Amino acid sequence: MGESGLEWAVAGRALPGEARSGDAATAVQHRDGLLLAVIDGLGHGNEAADAADRARDSIASRPGDPLVQVMQRCHRVLVGMRGAAVTLVDVLNDGTLSWLAVGNVEAAVVRGGGDPTRRRVDAVLQQAGVVGMQLPGLHPRVLPFAGNDLLVLATDGIASTFLADVSATWPVQRTADWIVARHARANDDALALVARRAR
């Protein structure tokens, strides 16, 4: 999939035995770029999936707002539900990205393209809390995002060791599929979103 000069792809699966996944993702175009989000509803099953769907709809409703406002709105609509971990990444047309993470949806930028001697991983600083239950102070971070950089977001149903193996040169759909196939935990929903600027 591609919008705003960005190639992106999602792969995921529900916990084996469940009909619905509590992990969700969205990508929504706005005037200044593309807002990406990955949501992990607490637990699994229908209640987690309902929370993730509600959060996704809230995020997609006004994607051009500042990330703090997007997260606060998401928090309000989840009050009384399961709650969720949410990571927002705004990939901007000016060559930067802004991110904000509450809870344990992991996100990182893999830099260096195909040159292993230049490979570097910049990880998102996650803030403790649960969207819909306990929201921490919100402080977005801004980083450069170049054409050979790879952005990866993954729920905690993906083993955190996946970043050691990811190649920044693979196509985005292949990368997302590989992360889920190789690193999904057997006891949870799992989802990965992968993006890079179109070349």
pLDDT digits 0-9 by tens, 46-73: 998 999 999 999 999 888 889 999 999 9
Q: What pLDDT score does 168 carry?
A: 77
Which residue has tokens 């992968």? Answer: 194
Question: From CA 112, how far away is CA 169, in angstroms rounded?
Answer: 9
Upper half-sphere CA count for residue 101 (Cβ side, 13 Å): 21
Question: From CA 101, how far away is CA 94, in angstroms rounded?
Answer: 21
Question: From CA 32, how far away is CA 45, in angstroms rounded?
Answer: 35
pLDDT band at residue 82 under the 50/70/90 scheme: confident
Give the closest residue to 7 by CA, choosing from 173, 191, 178: 173
Q: What pLDDT score does 118 carry?
A: 63
Read off the amino acid at residue 44: H
Does residue 34 contact residue 64 with C-beta atoms inside 8 Å?
A: no
**Which stretch of 15-19, 146-150, 181-185 has the lowest confidence by average pLDDT?**
146-150
Domains in the chain with CATH codes? 2-197 (3.60.40.10)
Q: What pLDDT score does 26 carry?
A: 94
Does residue 45 contact residue 78 with C-beta atoms inside 8 Å?
A: no
Name, in order, each residue with C-beta under 8 angstroms of 178's C-beta and a sequence gap of 6 or more: 170
- Burial of 30 from C-beta contacts in 10 A (0-12 / 13-18 / 19+): middle
pLDDT band at residue 38 under the 50/70/90 scheme: very high
What secondary structure does DSSP assign to 44-60, as a single string? SSHHHHHHHHHHHHHHH
Interval 153-177: pLDDT, tens: 999 999 988 888 787 788 899 999 9
Q: What pLDDT score does 197 carry?
A: 79
pLDDT band at residue 44 under the 50/70/90 scheme: confident
Interval 92-150: pLDDT, tens: 888 889 999 999 898 888 887 666 666 677 777 777 889 989 888 898 999 888 877 88
Tokens of 48: 């987690």
Give the closest residue to 198 by CA, choosing from 135, 149, 154: 149
What secondary structure does DSSP assign to 5-64, as a single string? TEEEEEEEEPPTT-SS-SEEEEEEEETTEEEEEEEEESSSSHHHHHHHHHHHHHHHHSTT
Question: From CA 179, how far away is CA 193, in angstroms rounded?
Answer: 9
Q: What pLDDT score does 115 carry?
A: 61
Mean pLDDT of the chain: 88
Q: What pLDDT score does 84 carry?
A: 94
190-197 vs 150-154, strand pairing mode? antiparallel
